[in-house]
Structure 1
């Protein structure tokens, strides 16, 4: 085996020219200290890259070892680590005697830093012959006055014992005595770590002797105790009860690090509910005390994992977790809410809702972007609680409806979405919720919120009294009808006044006004009174929005009027009342159409809205198909919403079941042994795996067949060097395992593999050069850093020396393309989050589609497979009922980049035509996904063979 190196020196310029041994000797012999430092760095890099250069050893001993330059001395010890210490016969080289003498002098050096640095180097030496003469000096360093020397001397003795036990046979007793006499906390910690590895009984005895004062010990020593207990409990399970008691005392430490480690260890040592609750309470305490947001998120994640492993035990901590909401970081708040929702039961749901109400009211006065996002998160949390626990649904809805006027548009729309789901799921609460909604709507000014509210009114006003209340609100919201005539009357008096003023200006010359002090009078544009009718009059909300051009709201309003009248027909109300309301509804619809074509609106009515309103007028006057119209307006739309709610519930149930299945362990499941994993063996999990959150499902098998399918051929079979690569894609990097085969009958010398990249890729390291024997094999590895989910290309070549020294041969590699699908994963998000990102993202890539696939749904499925995107549109909306299909798709990259897509296609004359719009924050992701979509569109329908 080759000697391992322990310290690496990074080469920032891998393309530098090679330096020969003679040149290095000249630099070491005649150069100044700066030149020697650069030469030593180049020597270290060359040795690490595979060229040992044994001829330099004597020159370095002669010209570098006597130097007193501190940087040179540091580089010298790096050199002792990696330089060849053994001759070809396997014995220690004669020159190492001089090195050993120099190390002895440094171990007696009056400077404590040099002594400590030398002792650290001894921990990396593996040659027993060298270490044998240094043991007495290391023992003397145990009594040095400076703690820096003593703490490194302990580790040096431990390392020497690991290399050869006969060199220091009594090291355990010596460290045990040192531990009792030592006063420095770092030295005691190092000594106990070594003692725990050398003599378990002595370490247990030391813990026993200090058990009375364990809570007053230094945190470093307490952490060493915890580490020892965690390892020892794996082999000695009979001591777990005693260890649990000891960790329960350590968990009360004043150090947050000790508390975290003790709580983590306690959850593994014991499954007792009291121990789990104690550990959970300490995690919550850390989340509240620590100022670092990363620590808060880590501890909250630990609490979440504990709840998954021990459901129901941590329920009483829900209010304590919500104290973390006092943090200003939005990610911490979201994490705290997500963890708390897992703890909530029917016993504590009211207390949690009360606290969330206070938080919502406290943030309702702030207009910051973060506050609005936090409000939306709070509303979503309250929404989930109301859906899960029916006993708080009524109170929650009332609270949200009351606070809706103080929320911004997006948060208020979230409330309306929430109310939709509640009135569908809880029929008993519908009358009260509808009354509260109608009462709060006059304060709403947003068209988006009013559209959702009008839809709820049209679908769920099932009683005559509720319909009358809703009609009064709509009548007040629209104002005086006909709208066009009332708007004319409002404008005409002002126009006559304007004409009178213009007549006055003909007789009186208008000019600047001179004040008594001789200066001109000025008027500020911001303080001048506006004479526009929109600003001078306080119009109702719906009327103002219609006049401003929101005809989508007008169409929804007309649809609601039709639903209310059809509902009254189904309730068999008096014909006289029904006729009056129908006439009023028709007048309102016609009025909207007429004002939409007039000059009194900000923009003319669009064709779609006008067609919808015309169709509603037709439906109200159609008596032949009354039953079909009633069924379409009153039943079909409600059934569609029911199916949408049902499908979302099924998705949530599937996610919960999937999560449960991923964390559950079957009784008959095999236990994997990592050591025998490749041979299909079986083994047990150790305690460190449990502490780190690893399970047997995390240990994946690399099948040979799967590796063979990922091999990429880099050169041809007829090239002098055949090369192939196995590509391994990790989260943030790509590893290329390249196999080189010498296909010639001569030795190829100085074979070098060079890679370069195109795109957001960066070559991290350069493979070492090597000599390959005839028909020999050589394997190199190269790591490439990936910084974004963009299409990248890796290209390179092989260079090796020819027959003459000045000749070289180059073999070009085939290009390796990095597939962005390795970094893009399907993801889900809410409709509001999708729309928000769609409006914010700058880059859009629109791809026209012309495909010959059989059906629209088949194309959607192929698009999802080919782009790794998830369809957010409910399944009922992407069925095969018509010749059109529209769907939203979403995915997320490993680097946190969001990718949105909107698919709009139709089937015409046997072809699928339409377009896909892709949006992302950066240009690269949008273009790369666009190429994938274009490739999918070019796929042809499979030809069916009817006969041969």
Structure 2
């Protein structure tokens, strides 16, 4: 059994110094040489070399030294060295040390006395400490507080020894007397801590005797008092607990923030009464506003989140206090505040919360914050989704941001407006009117926002005035038709110097006709700029399809509300001119990417529909499209309700419930899939279907072979992946007829893995085996490779060392990923922030799209964010977004786009993105390996 460690010494790995060199340095009269020699002696001792001659030389040469550093190093050396034999008796040489320690305890220098007293705290040998008791007690009255505080610690350590109460039975009484007269705060803290741990009744008596002066005590002593309160209240009856709670509440006025925080934590742990919880919540909110350190704020927010879970009714009153901390300029803090606020929204405080969020939106209107503005919009969106009646107070305010430069913010606003206009019919007229008036303010860089805004215009323009205004808005943004004439082919010029818009997004040497160049230079409309630059992108003409669809819906609705056939035919002619102009532009030869077949077919379909309008097709365009959107919103609400119910069903175990250690051990560090398998195994055990062979088979599946069968030393490892560490149980077998000496398992790691223990040497007899445990800390899943070798020597050839290289151990990334939830807008925003992307081509024998999606979900242990209704029907296409998080908070995003070909095979791509290169690469490798399914 390893001994407890009381000393940590850092030293660089290398060849330790020789004992002869240390002896020569110790015999010099130079203190600097002795200091260096003592450091080398300590290192040599840590390497395991216990040289008796070296100890005698240290006693002879170092004990007389008056140098403080030399004496400190001597105490460190004495702390490490073995002081007893195998029978537990103290070595005779240690008696020589007792006189030196007594001299140090009576030394005129307070530093020597203090470090010696601190050294005595780490000794467990009664034979050494007993002669020093009078000197230790005399230091309790020393003039310097440094000596007194360490003397109290020495008395405490002495009293805790197995025979300490017999050696110093009056220690509690002596310390209590010292505590009543002591003025130094650190010494008082040590003295009270001694009474707290060794004579609890005396500590309680002293506490309530001086309870009126508790606010004047120092921070250190007040922290010990709170620790005493928590310990006492675990065993005391409920009748006496009230006075301790009252005492804790009185400490909430302490000047120290640390004491205030501990008071609040103590109140929560002692009582569930509304008064105590309310006082703790108020204290946390005050700390959240007063503390400037971001780490402190994050810790306080975690405590507030715990109170939200256990005492939501009380925390509802504090939601405005929590929101006041939004002034902090930190993304993580703001996100936590928003999450807590959303959990505490009720019908009684929703108006106040929305008002504060509106004020925050107005406050940062002129600020450039690419993260905070979308976060505010998403929070307001969630509030409006829970309480639709507040939508009218915020929707018009948020629509002011449609012209913002941050395209993520604009997209969030459009998504918010799109949902509100469907769920709040009373706001449709005002929203459509406002959107038509501000549509031209949406920048051309926000293409998806423009497309979503066009969809809203096409779906929710109902009255004659709204329909005509929608058509007029699109015509105004696309004025100057046609975009160019065919005889301008080949007359292009380099537009990279003509317009900033094209120069920033076009390919080099791209030439456009003069008409288009002039149109781009003079165009300030978003629609025209997006259409004119569509051919500079792959599949860029999708936006032209959106324009065609919107015009088609508006024309179909115009036929229902407009009685004049002349005006209807005029609007149809203008819409057809726009669509034909887009087709003509897309089929030109000067674009690097002409219009794709899919976009062309869609626009042609719109032209045919306007020329020959049928009743069944009209029903699809006017009703089915919106119904699909309504179904999508219903699916999102249903999923949110299911998640809330799932969280509510999670029951916490009661304190008196027995712990099944077998299950605790078996399930530590398992992934979700392994947990499900383990549950099935437990059911089999309960019914008698599970046998030992099945258990052994599960364990064999997780054993990795490290060496070959023909190697003289065979090694295999059983890998257990826990949350933050990896345990390797390496079995090493000596397959030779010789004894292997100094066999060492040398491991190394790549990436964010760290080996905890240093390798040890072992001796293996012929054909024997040894199990070696190795712990590896994990700080990230960016990389996970463990490699190394086995080194050993033989008696026949002592000078040479044999090295066997081990196979690499690749840690499965899936063991650290769990499913997580995210909104569609949040997924798009986080996707845009990720810089590391991997693209995997679909190569599988699976022929069903949904089966392939479920297979990828099972392999990656991620959650599908795309609603199930999106997969209804048979269309031959499937697109889905997957989202997951690691146990370290790192995010992973996957987008699957597949198509079923005529030969029934699936083709497409899987895109993986993350902020961390290793996660993206590991997921790509995993999907590449597992996507074939049954192959």
Note whether the superposition's TM-score is higher than 0.5.
yes
Residue 89 of structure 1: CA displacement? 3.6
| Match runs of 1:266-665 below 5 Å | 266-366=267-367, 368=368, 371-406=369-404, 408-446=406-444, 447-479=447-479, 533-534=518-519, 537=522, 540-549=525-534, 551-569=541-559, 575-594=565-584, 605=595, 607-623=597-613, 626-662=614-650, 664-665=651-652
For 1:509, the equivalent position in structure 2 comes to none
Out of 36-45 and 332-341, give the one that drifted further. 36-45
Q: 1-side partners of 2:852 and 2:782: how far apart?
A: 24
Could you tell me the TM-score, scaled by structure 2's length? 0.85
* Aligned 8 A contact 1:742 1:776 in 2: yes
Q: Is residue 124 from structure 1 mapped to residue 117 from structure 2 by the alignment?
A: no
* Aligned 8 A contact 2:555 2:568 in 1: yes
Q: 2-side partners of 1:49 and 1:636: how far apart?
A: 79
Q: 2-side partners of 1:710 and 1:26: how far apart?
A: 55
Residue 425 of structure 1: CA displacement? 2.3
For 2:926, the equivalent position in structure 1 comes to 932
Cα distance change, pair 181–743 in 1 and its aligned pair in 2 (3 A): farther
Q: Is residue 754 from structure 1 mapped to residue 751 from structure 2 by the alignment?
A: no
For 1:792, the equivalent position in structure 2 comes to 785
- Cα RMSD, aligned residues only: 3.7
Residue 410 of structure 1: CA displacement? 2.0
Q: 1-side partners of 2:853 and 2:35: how far apart?
A: 63
Q: Is residue 671 from structure 1 mapped to residue 676 from structure 2 by the alignment?
A: no
Cα distance change, pair 82–600 in 1 and its aligned pair in 2 (3 A): closer
Cα distance change, pair 715–627 in 1 and its aligned pair in 2 (3 A): same
* Aligned 8 A contact 1:459 1:638 in 2: yes
**SS of match in other structure, 2:6:** coil
* Aligned 8 A contact 1:251 1:262 in 2: yes
Residue 548 of structure 1: CA displacement? 4.2
For 1:527, the equivalent position in structure 2 comes to none
Q: 2-side partners of 1:152 and 1:737: how far apart?
A: 44
Out of 417-426 and 908-917, give the one that drifted further. 908-917
Select which of 915, 918, 921 maps to 2:912. Answer: 918
Cα distance change, pair 604–718 in 1 and its aligned pair in 2 (3 A): closer
Q: 2-side partners of 1:23 and 1:720: how far apart?
A: 40
For 1:173, the equivalent position in structure 2 comes to 173
Q: 1-side partners of 2:527 and 2:762: how far apart?
A: 80
For 2:513, the equivalent position in structure 1 comes to none
For 1:768, the equivalent position in structure 2 comes to 760
**SS of match in other structure, 2:371:** helix
CA deviations on 1:688-711 (whole Å, 9 max, x unpaired) are xxxxxxxxx9xx999997777544
Q: 1-side partners of 2:699 and 2:47: how far apart?
A: 28
Q: 1-side partners of 2:616 and 2:747: how far apart?
A: 70
Out of 328-337 and 810-819, give the one that drifted further. 810-819
CA deviations on 1:820-868 (whole Å, 9 max, x unpaired) are 3334444444444544555554444333332212422222222233334
Cα distance change, pair 741–31 in 1 and its aligned pair in 2 (3 A): farther
Out of 730-739 and 94-103, give the one that drifted further. 730-739
Cα distance change, pair 904–181 in 1 and its aligned pair in 2 (3 A): same
Residue 897 of structure 1: CA displacement? 4.6
Cα distance change, pair 596–816 in 1 and its aligned pair in 2 (3 A): closer
Could you tell me the TM-score, scaled by structure 1's length? 0.84
Residue 365 of structure 1: CA displacement? 1.3
* Aligned 8 A contact 1:789 1:893 in 2: no
**SS of match in other structure, 1:134:** helix
* Aligned 8 A contact 1:857 1:879 in 2: no
CA deviations on 1:882-919 (whole Å, 9 max, x unpaired) are 32333333444455554443333333324333333334
**SS of match in other structure, 1:799:** strand
Residue 315 of structure 1: CA displacement? 1.5
Out of 267-276 and 468-477, give the one that drifted further. 468-477
Out of 853-862 and 177-186, give the one that drifted further. 853-862
Select which of 869, 874, 887 maps to 1:881. Answer: 874
* Aligned 8 A contact 1:845 1:917 in 2: yes
Q: 2-side partners of 1:894 and 1:175: how far apart?
A: 48
* Aligned 8 A contact 2:846 2:932 in 1: no
* Aligned 8 A contact 1:825 1:868 in 2: yes
Residue 455 of structure 1: CA displacement? 0.4
| Match runs of 1:743-892 below 5 Å | 749-758=741-750, 761-771=753-763, 775=768, 777=770, 779-783=772-776, 788-803=781-796, 805-806=798-799, 808-810=801-803, 812-836=805-829, 838-839=831-832, 841-878=834-871, 881-892=874-885
Out of 219-228 and 891-900, give the one that drifted further. 891-900
Q: 2-side partners of 1:778 and 1:105: how far apart?
A: 49
Q: 2-side partners of 1:320 and 1:600: how far apart?
A: 60
Q: 2-side partners of 1:784 and 1:346: how far apart?
A: 47
Q: 1-side partners of 2:429 and 2:611: how far apart?
A: 30
Q: 2-side partners of 1:345 and 1:788: how far apart?
A: 39
Q: 2-side partners of 1:49 and 1:713: how far apart?
A: 32
* Aligned 8 A contact 2:750 2:783 in 1: no
Residue 809 of structure 1: CA displacement? 5.0
Q: 2-side partners of 1:275 and 1:619: how far apart?
A: 70
For 2:692, the equivalent position in structure 1 comes to none
Q: 2-side partners of 1:938 and 1:604: how far apart?
A: 35
Q: 2-side partners of 1:104 and 1:111: how far apart?
A: 13
Out of 459-468 and 89-98, give the one that drifted further. 459-468
* Aligned 8 A contact 1:749 1:800 in 2: yes
For 1:515, the equivalent position in structure 2 comes to none
Count of residue pairs the alignment pairs up = 873
Out of 574-583 and 216-225, give the one that drifted further. 574-583
Out of 191-200 and 406-415, give the one that drifted further. 406-415
Cα distance change, pair 23–780 in 1 and its aligned pair in 2 (3 A): farther
* Aligned 8 A contact 2:245 2:270 in 1: yes
Structure 2 gap ranges (5+): 492-515, 535-539, 666-674, 683-694
* Aligned 8 A contact 1:54 1:84 in 2: no
Q: 2-side partners of 1:782 and 1:27: how far apart?
A: 39
**SS of match in other structure, 2:85:** coil
Residue 931 of structure 1: CA displacement? 2.2
CA deviations on 1:532-569 (whole Å, 9 max, x unpaired) are 74487565543444344474333212211211233345
